[in-house]
Amino acid sequence: SSTSLNSLEKYADELVATANAMVRPGRGLLACDESTGTVGSRLESIGLENVEENRRDWRELLFRSPSLGDYVSGAILFEETLYQNAADGTPFVDVLKSQGVIPGIKVDTGLKPLVGGVEGETWCSGLDGLYDKCVLHYAKGARFAKWRTALRIDVAKGCPTDYAIDEAAHGLSRYARICQEAGLVPIVEPEILIDGDHDIATTARIQEVVVSRTYQKLKEVGCLLEGTLLKPSMTVAGVECSDKPTPEDVAKMTVQTLERSVPCSVPGITFLSGGLTEEDSSIFLNAINSIERKGPWAMTFSFSRANQSSALKAWAGKKENVEAAQKALLARAQANSEASEGKYVAGSQPSDQESLYVKNYCI
């Protein structure tokens, strides 16, 4: 490989400009980088077969939503989608660019069992050949990348183990540095799964360690933090915890956790939705942006399920429903855009109230 370890200067200005453009006011990210299996279960839920044409039609519906760029600055794509064309032959990259949406690419190759950890712990794969793939993705038009690693909380079993946290931080830092060498802004995603009955204070305590360790490693490998983004989970209680925090509790604990662990050189924090409902995701994001804080970063959305769920149902795989589905997507995109500025009025946009929680969302 032609990787040079000292070539960050080549892309430094561009990385910083891209990262800042992605979190400019009122904008967030549409995560639609479901791997083939995951998008397949979404399509199957509306009675469609998991074939390339259906995956293309679904993504085309999303990308052609009128004025998507008013709310969305970037779309995270699976590799198939980055290199795919719309039905009329227009490359998806061009469809997105014409909407003012920056194409991005999921470059991790999935979670694997962490041998030596506690049963159920995982590590994130994808470093092999990563630099050369990033060079190709950049040439195709991608300007940022994503790598999701997931940690579970199970206090009785000692999870996450130190080993799992170290491995997560190590993988994220190596990925981030490699992406920057190739001109892609790395989105650093250490997800804390919501599975479990732990309280919000436990999540906060563990997340603070995970995020702090991640930045320690990012600094060790010489990442340009101004050209990175963080994609964390919001600091919530486990899904089975009987003590449900209010949106104000979530906002307070999320901001406190991130203020204790994220350097101020990072331009933005783009939250995942992690199984929260569409409306809760927007309400929590709005609360986060409504309280006083010291942290200087933009705090916005990078939701997958909480951006797409009602749109998918409205579509139901039928041509005549495309417009209704696009309206549903734009409703949530607008809600989340408003929430990113602390201006969302709960219930002012339609949502499906269904739980989007998927047990053990890490395989």
Residue numbers annotated as active site: 189, 231
Binding flag, residue 306, ligand 5MM (CB under 6 A): yes
* 352: three-class secondary structure by DSSP: coil
In sequence order, what DSSP letters do the residues of 258-317 get, joined into one string? HHHHS-TT--EEEE--TT--HHHHHHHHHHHTTS--S--SEEEEEESHHHHHHHHHHHTT
* Residue 18 interacting with ligand 5MM (CB under 6 A): no
CA distance 201 to 257: 10
Please name the amino acid found at residue 91: P
Question: Cα(84)–Cα(103) distance, rounded to whole angstroms?
Answer: 12
The partner residues of 191 in beta bridges, in order of sequence, read 150
Binder of ligand 5MM out of 8, 10, 20, 38 (CB under 6 A): 38
- We find the least distance from the C-beta atom of residue 145 to ligand 5MM, in angstroms, to be 12
Least distance (Å) between residue 305 CB and ligand 5MM: 3
140: its two tokens: 């195709």
Is 123 a binder of ligand 5MM (CB under 6 A)? no
**Quick check: 305 binds ligand 5MM (CB under 6 A)?**
yes
| Position 109 contacts ligand 5MM (CB under 6 A) | no
Report in angstroms how near the CB of residue 78 gets to ligand 5MM at its nearest.
7
Residues in contact with ligand 5MM, shown as a per-residue x/- string from 48 to 87 under the rule CB under 6 A? ----------------------------------------
Q: Binding residue for ligand 5MM (CB under 6 A) from 63, 215, 284, 303?
A: 303
Could you please report the per-residue DSSP string of 55-106?
HHHHHHHHHTSTTGGGTEEEEEE-HHHHT-B-TTS-BHHHHHHHTT-EEEEE
Q: Is 35 in the site for ligand 5MM (CB under 6 A)?
A: yes
Closest CB to ligand 5MM among residues 76, 200:
76
27, 55, 148, 332: which one binds ligand 5MM (CB under 6 A): 148
CB 284 within 8 A of CB 234: yes
CB of 33 to ligand 5MM, least distance (A): 5
Q: In angstroms, what is the minimal distance from the CB of 99 to ligand 5MM? A: 19
3-state secondary structure of 145: strand
- Residue with Cβ nearer ligand 5MM (192 or 224): 192
- Per CB under 6 A, does 125 bind ligand 5MM? no
Alpha carbons within 13 A on the beta-carbon side of 197: 4
Cβ neighbours for 158, distance < 8 A, ≥ 6 positions apart: 118
- Which residues inside 214-273 make contact with ligand 5MM, applying CB under 6 A? 272-273
Work out whether 274 is an interface residue with ligand 5MM (CB under 6 A).
Answer: yes
Q: Which of 304, 337, 349, 351 binds ligand 5MM (CB under 6 A)?
A: 304
Instruction: Name the minimum Å distance from CB 146 to ligand 5MM.
Output: 7
**What is the footprint of ligand 5MM within residues 167-206 (CB under 6 A)?**
none
Q: How far apart are CA 118 and CA 313, in angstroms?
A: 37
Task: Give which of 236, 164, 232 is closest to 204, Cα–Cα.
Answer: 236
Q: How far is the CB of 13 from ligand 5MM (least distance, A)?
A: 27
φ and ψ at 211, to 5 degrees? Answer: -70, -40
Measured CA to CA in angstroms, residue 252 lies from 129, 249, 257 at distances of: 41, 5, 9
User: Contact between 33 and ligand 5MM (CB under 6 A)?
Assistant: yes
CB of 171 to ligand 5MM, least distance (A): 14
Contact (Cβ atoms closer than 8 angstroms) between residue 133 and residue 107: yes
Residues 362, 149: Cα–Cα separation, whole Å: 9
CB nearer ligand 5MM, residue 147 or residue 297: 147
Q: With CB under 6 A as the contact rule, which of the stretches 27-35, 172-180, 315-323, 329-337 interacts with ligand 5MM?
A: 27-35
Distance CA 215, CA 236 (A): 21
Binding-site ranges for ligand 5MM (CB under 6 A): 31, 33-35, 38, 106, 110, 148, 272-274, 303-306
